[in-house]
Amino acid sequence: MNHFWRANRALIVASVAAMSLPVAAPASAQETFKLGIVTFLSGPAADSFGVPARNGAQFVIDQLNKGSVPSPYEKVGFGGMKIEPVIIDENGGATKQVQELRNLYQRDNVDVVLGYISSGDCLAVAPIAEELKKMLVLMDCGTPRIFEEAKYNYVFRTAAHATMDNVGLVRYMKAKNIKMDTLSAINQDYAWGQDSRADFVAAAQQLYPNVKVQTDLLPKFGAGQYGTEISALVGAGSDVVYSSLWGGDLQAFVLQSAPRGLPKRSQLVFSAADHVLPPLGDKMPDGTIIGARGSYGLMSQKSPLNDWLFRGYEAANGVYPVQAAYRITQSILGLKAAVEKAMSKNGGKKPSTDEMVAAMTGLEWPSPGGLIQMKLADGHQAIQPIAFSRTKYNPDLKRVDLIDIQYFAAECVNPPPGVKSIEWIKGGMQGAKCN
Amino acid sequence: MKKGLHPLVMIALVAMVTLAGRALPTWTLSLATIAASNALIALGIVVLARTGNVSFGQGLFFAAGGYGVALIANTWGLTDAVAQVIVGAACGGLLGLVIGPLIARYSGIFFGMLTLALSMVFYGALVKSTALGGSDGFNVGRPSLFGMSFTDPREADFMLYAVSVIVTGFAGIAATILFRSEFGLASLAVRENNLRVEYLGLSANRIISINFLIAAIFAGASGAFALMAQRHIDPQFAYWTTSGEFVFVAVLAGNQSVAAVFVASMALELVRSFSNLYLPNTWQLVLGVFLLGVILFLPRGIGSLWIRDRHRRRHISATPPLTAERGAAP
């Protein structure tokens, strides 16, 4: 008995000791750039966003380290430094993310942390990076609150916030003369769903002043079964049914609503649905209006940079890239542009955090999804162009094609600096530049 | 437990652990703060478990403490760390005072399910309240201490570490004293046979209510620490997986030793953090295997590593392992 305990205790002591050893950091900091990457590898958002983002990051970092990215990103890694990624899982809640962010900076000594898909996580980690005076690049999360409720020096978001998803969608509907006297909505009952719904309704009331909101549903996140909701929507028979559902919830909703004839009765408009096109295939009703939170995937515009990402990612992963892969790509390329800008100023040394922050503030860089401009929040929040389109199944290629694609300039669908998003929409979207 | 540690020795231990924080690397400080905060709430669960009831809804008081502190901090600018802990404990305690007497009439699985249900009701209400940021939650400023504000990250982390270790340490000492007291022993008796306790002229409901209140106060204070450590609060604080994690810490620790709760909490945080770093795709599996391993090889919890045989023999009938309690419940 005693032997057992002693052995056991020795084991525990040894494992505790092993765990408390500092994680060995590579000595030649000059030669590598350690990049912490946080994305969902498990949980409901993994399949739709997290894993495509991880695959995108791996593809881009691999290509950058080989120096095979087209102009203007031909340089190896970040300004000659090889990129060394440390990838961790975003699943587990904001408490865990705050702790893991500290660990990345303080224990693993990463130079920059890049990532985050959930708005809750973004809101939670931003003040921590600011306090630690470390650079944090948010790559996706939707909520405009991050920079509208606080001011950060060390935090950047390299993608536009969710306002343009709904403003752009309503502008697209107006441009395509979609009739919308009556509107119904179905959104998940958590911040993304509630905020998207508020933005869409506010924007619709601006461009369609006579619109009547009929059925307004907020099923819980991850509900999966929408029988009752679909009955209510079919019963209302509105001109338009709007939804910000995503991932498995959106797939379930589409699969369940098609046999009930909802797509024939109402025009379906989905603010962020491109990522469900590959799994849904011919189950996606033709003529559905969808957005992709940018000009991404099948809606992306032709350019050498876009061809490189689209073909390379497809070859590596067997499926074409959708929004999350594009968003992490534009994030990594933006950071690369900032690091190299800082290095051109300091004589080619590895830049300090402050030098990188100064270089990134207000930066503009080309990405596969178009030009990214850090124009909002004193140069810390990006704006970008966005595209919308209609679905049409292509039986020859066995994939959903996107037709009637229309692009909107970044300044047409994003608020100008210094204005809160929802107030901008409700105030009639003053100052929008739509050509 | 007549030869247990003297309270003064325990105070010295707490002081030692606090001072050790000066030598720890910075990243462990905030990890230890979270571990201490989780230990505090798990300690509450252990206190309550001695009456034979396990709460699966401590997230309710955890969130009540967190939200209470966050709202008061944002409305009236109360940033003092010690005051925030007191506010958190008071919020948790007030709620415990209301819920405790109602819920004390139930036992076993009904008790567990009711606590779980109440915490999920609170979760649902929080997700709906867009004024509080809905499911995304909101941020609060960094805490100060006695009028001093800390701008250096290491000093700020150490301050939080010190406050959380001292408060949790004193809660642990108080719990030890409580366990040895007449009331603590009566709590054990309630678990064994509450009818007999009633015949002795004690109210079992009252004993359960008081233990429940203590657990709620600990949970509220723990919520305040979690808030101070991460400066952000969201409804996840009240979610059932959060509550479940605290029960896990209590299971890992076993209920033989108060110190085991701290060790278990720290071990869980370390395993979680390193598995997430080295095995980002399978960290949950590592965590699960770790928990299974402890349950299989240390069925009486981590505490059984240093609580000796003779000690156990004395307590063997009085304190069946918490795991058995959980096993029996569903």
Three-state secondary structure string covering B231-252 = CEECHHHHCHHHHHHHHHHHHH
**Pairwise pLDDT comparison (A434 vs B97), residue with the higher score:** B97
Alpha carbon distances (Å) from A72 to A56, A65, A365: 19, 15, 9
Q: Which residues of B touch A42 (CB under 8 A)?
A: 281, 284
B230 Cα to chain A: minimum distance (Å) = 6
Q: What is the largest CA-CA distance in chain A?
A: 82
DSSP reduced 3-state for A3? helix
Q: What is the pLDDT of residues A226-255, one digit of tens each?
A: 989 999 999 888 899 999 999 889 999 999
pLDDT score, position A224: 83
pLDDT score, position B317: 44
If you measure CA to CA, which chain A residue comes closest to B34? A99
CB contact under 8 A, B137 and A22: no
Query: Measuring CA to CA, which residue among A328, A337, A394 is closest to residue A364?
Result: A337
If you measure CA to CA, which chain B residue comes closest to A120? B136
Residue A155 DSSP label: E
CB contact under 8 A, B231 and A108: no
Q: Is the pLDDT of residue B323 over 80?
A: no
Which one of B74, B135, B149, B309 makes the best mutation probe of the A interface by having the most chain A beta carbons within 10 Å? B135
CA B147 to CA B169: how far, in whole Å? Answer: 24
Which range is least confidently modeled, A61-65, B39-43, B77-81, B261-265?
B77-81
pLDDT score, position B198: 84
DSSP reduced 3-state for A321? coil
CATH number of this structure's domain A163-292+385-426: 3.40.50.2300
Mean pLDDT, residues B177-204 = 83
Whether the CB-CB separation of A105 and A97 falls below 8 Å is answered with no
CA B252 to CA B271: how far, in whole Å? Answer: 13
Q: Which residues of B touch A221 (CB under 8 A)?
A: 135
Q: Which residues of A touch B149 (CB under 8 A)?
A: none
> Which residues in A388-405 are b (16+ Cβ under 10 Å) and which e?
bbbbebeeeeebbebeee
**Pairwise pLDDT comparison (B279 vs A280), residue with the higher score:** A280
Mean pLDDT, residues B158-166 = 87
B272 Cα to chain A: minimum distance (Å) = 9
Q: Is the pLDDT of residue B327 over 70?
A: no
CB contact under 8 A, A23 and B130: no
Whether the CB-CB separation of B266 and B183 falls below 8 Å is answered with no
If you measure CA to CA, which chain B residue comes closest to A190? B135
Whether the CB-CB separation of B67 and B132 falls below 8 Å is answered with yes
Mean pLDDT, residues B204-230 = 90
How far is CA A288 from its chain centroid? 22
If you measure CA to CA, which chain A residue comes closest to B267? A16
**Burial class of A1 by CB neighbour count within 10 A (0 to 12, 13 to 18, 19+):** exposed
Q: Tell me if the pTM is above 0.95.
A: no
CB contact under 8 A, B231 and A128: yes
Q: What angle do CA A190, A321, A105 make, to 5 degrees?
A: 65
Helix axes B108-128, B240-253, angle to 10 degrees: 140
Query: Measuring CA to CA, which residue among A222, A172, A159, A161 is closest to residue A195?
Result: A161
| Domain range summary for chain A, segments of one domain joined by + | 32-160+301-383, 163-292+385-426
CB contact under 8 A, A189 and B127: yes
% chain B with pLDDT above 90: 12
A399 has which bridge partners?
A: A394
Query: Measuring CA to CA, which residue among B179, B190, B188 is closest to residue B257?
Result: B179
Q: What is the pLDDT of residues A399-414, one digit of tens each?
A: 898 888 999 998 889 9
Query: Measuring CA to CA, which residue among A151, A89, A152, A166 is closest to residue A121?
Result: A89
State the average pLDDT for chain A: 87
- Residue A265 CB: number of other CB atoms within 10 A? 17
Mean pLDDT, residues A209-219 = 90
CB contact under 8 A, A106 and B27: yes
A152 Cα to chain B: minimum distance (Å) = 13
Q: Which residues of A touch B229 (CB under 8 A)?
A: 98
Number of H helices, E strands in chain B: 14, 2
pLDDT score, position B169: 86
Q: Is the pLDDT of residue B285 over 90?
A: no
% chain A with pLDDT above 90: 41
pLDDT score, position A30: 57
Cite the beta strand spans of chain B per DSSP E.
138-139, 232-233
CATH number of this structure's domain A32-160+301-383: 3.40.50.2300
% chain A with pLDDT above 70: 93
Q: What is the pLDDT of residues A96-106, one digit of tens each?
A: 888 889 889 98
Q: Which two tokens mark B35?
A: 């571990």
Q: Which two tokens mark A96?
A: 């865990």
CA B285 to CA A162: how far, in whole Å? Answer: 34
Which range is least confidently modeled, A353-362, B102-111, B298-307?
B298-307
| Count, residues in chain A | 435
Q: Which residues of A touch B234 (CB under 8 A)?
A: 93-94, 120, 124
CA B236 to CA B246: how far, in whole Å? Answer: 13
- Residue A142 CB: number of other CB atoms within 10 A? 26
According to DSSP, the β-strands at A212-217 and A240-243 are unpaired
Which range is least confidently modeled, A13-22, A82-91, A153-162, B290-299?
A13-22
Q: What angle do CA B251, B253, B259 make, to 5 degrees?
A: 155
CA A273 to CA A277: how far, in whole Å? Answer: 7
CB contact under 8 A, A124 and B26: no
| Residue pairs between chains A and B whose CB atoms are closer than 8 Å | 121
CA A403 to CA A394: how far, in whole Å? Answer: 11
| Count, residues in chain B | 330
pLDDT score, position B320: 47
CB contact under 8 A, B226 and A95: yes
Q: Which two tokens mark B279?
A: 């095995």
Whether the CB-CB separation of A234 and A261 falls below 8 Å is answered with yes
Q: What is the pLDDT of residues A134-160, one digit of tens each?
A: 999 999 988 888 888 888 999 999 999
Q: What angle do CA A362, B136, A217 make, to 5 degrees?
A: 115
Q: Which two tokens mark A24?
A: 């060995």
CB contact set of B262 (below 8 Å; sequence gap of 6+): B35, B36, B39, B168, B172
Q: Which residues of B touch A119 (CB under 8 A)?
A: 136
CA A234 to CA B283: how far, in whole Å? Answer: 44
Give this complex's ipTM. Answer: 0.77
Which range is least confidently modeled, A176-180, A274-278, B1-5?
B1-5
Name the phi and psi angles at A182, rounded to 5.
-125, 150
% chain B with pLDDT above 70: 91
CB contact set of B68 (below 8 Å; sequence gap of 6+): B87, B88, B90, B91, B220, B223
Task: Give B278's Cβ-side CA count (13 Å radius).
Answer: 11
B218 pLDDT band (50/70/90 cuts)?
very high
Q: What is the pLDDT of residues B42-88, one digit of tens each?
A: 889 988 888 888 888 889 999 999 999 999 888 887 888 888 889 99
Question: Which ranges of A36-150 would DSSP assign to H, the alpha helix?
Answer: 44-45, 51-66, 94-102, 119-132, 145-148
Note whether A32-160+301-383 and A163-292+385-426 share their fold: yes
- Expressed in angstroms, the distance from the first to the final Cα of chain A is 82
A119 Cα to chain B: minimum distance (Å) = 6
A53 Cα to chain B: minimum distance (Å) = 14
pLDDT score, position B4: 60
Please tell me whether the peptide bond between A72 and the residue prior to it is cis, using omega within 30 degrees of 0.
yes
